[in-house]
Amino acid sequence: MGHRRTITGSRILITGASQGIGKALAEAAAARGAKVLACARKVELLNDVAQQIRAKGGVIEVVQADITSPDDRQRLVETAEKVFGGLDILVNNAGIGATGHFADCSAERLREIMEVNFFGLTETTRVFLPLLKKGNQPAIVNISSIAGKRGIPARSEYSASKFAVQGFSEALRAELAKDGVDVLVVCPGLTQTNFSQNMIEQKALVKLDHMRGMSAEDVAWHTLKTIEKGYNETCLTLRGKLMVLVSRFLPWVADIVVRRKVRGLFKDEIEARQKNPVEPIDHGRPA
């Protein structure tokens, strides 16, 4: 458990704040009296969020920024210092995804996902550490995923990026204990956002219906509760929690379930291969 804190009066940076969970977080935090610094790549959407928040009396500043850019990350630090005099809470929310089997996808796709979901997150954290160490009840909040607790077929790259976030968060939590900086992790399951529409690529045979998931507003509420209570980790949705429990205590069951699912999807391909096995390549014998 980390420290308890109040949202009111806290200076909060939220990355990826133009849509989905980030937008809902910015609105909810501002409504509770936080001073919000919101960033994203799409400035038009950011400005819309800011307009809605200010119309309700909330305090928000926006910065168009790409967290994979060193210059943009430094500009965020400078803005936080100039506008709010520092930072108390960093919410690393920005992320991208893609679907499709690993063997059918490019190395460039994997690198792009890792660049945003992991390196962008870690390097944003790095540049803000000096400010956070001087903040009031400071915390780093990493928005991970249930996919960071159990790898999901056809989402291997996204799962890998979120597993990396989990490992980084656990190690950093121990390292920053001496500085009084909490490292908290929130793992949403399916969430009603435009995440699937904004994916780099979609090649999975089975599409996850995000509209069946938790609303972005509910995820934001649980995230703010995590921050207030100082929970080290929060996993969301009943299905997500069950998946985490089964993977932890009965991993072999989870393995059987996902293998059967994949084999069922590729039944025709498997049967065709069994009927027409590939002849081994004769490389000849050494002289």
207, pLDDT greater than 70: no
Evaluate whether residue 277 is within a structural domain: no
Evaluate whether residue 5 is within a structural domain: no
Return mean pLDDT, the chain: 89
287, pLDDT greater than 50: no
Name which of 175, 98, 188, 87 is nearest 138 in CA terms: 87
Q: Catalytic: which of 84, 118, 128, 158?
A: 158
Domain hosting 142: range is: 11-243
**pLDDT band for position 263 (cuts 50, 70, 90):** low
The DSSP annotation for 37-58 comes to EEEES-HHHHHHHHHHHHHTT-
Evaluate whether residue 264 is within a structural domain: no
Most trustworthy range by pLDDT among 85-89, 269-273, 275-279: 85-89
Evaluate whether residue 91 is within a structural domain: yes
Most trustworthy range by pLDDT among 141-150, 185-194, 247-256: 141-150
Arithmetic mean of pLDDT, 45-64: 97
**pLDDT band for position 228 (cuts 50, 70, 90):** very high
Partner residues linked to 239 by β-bridges: none
pLDDT of residue 214: 87
Determine contact, residues 228/56, Cβ cutoff 8 Å.
no
Alpha-carbon distance of 43 to 62, in angstroms, equals 8
Total count of domains within the chain: 1
Per-residue pLDDT tens for 68-103?
A: 999 999 999 999 999 999 999 999 999 999 888 989
Evaluate whether residue 2 is within a structural domain: no
pLDDT of residue 272: 65
**In terms of residues, how long is the chain?**
287
Please indicate whether residue 238 or residue 62 has the higher confidence score (pLDDT): 62
- Domain CATH code at residue 199: 3.40.50.720
Query: pTM higher than 0.85, yes or no?
Result: yes
pLDDT of residue 271: 58
Per-residue pLDDT tens for 2-32?
A: 899 999 999 999 999 999 999 999 999 999 9
Evaluate whether residue 251 is within a structural domain: no
The answer to whether 231 is a known catalytic residue is: no
158, pLDDT greater than 90: yes
Evaluate whether residue 266 is within a structural domain: no
Evaluate whether residue 237 is within a structural domain: yes
204, pLDDT greater than 80: no
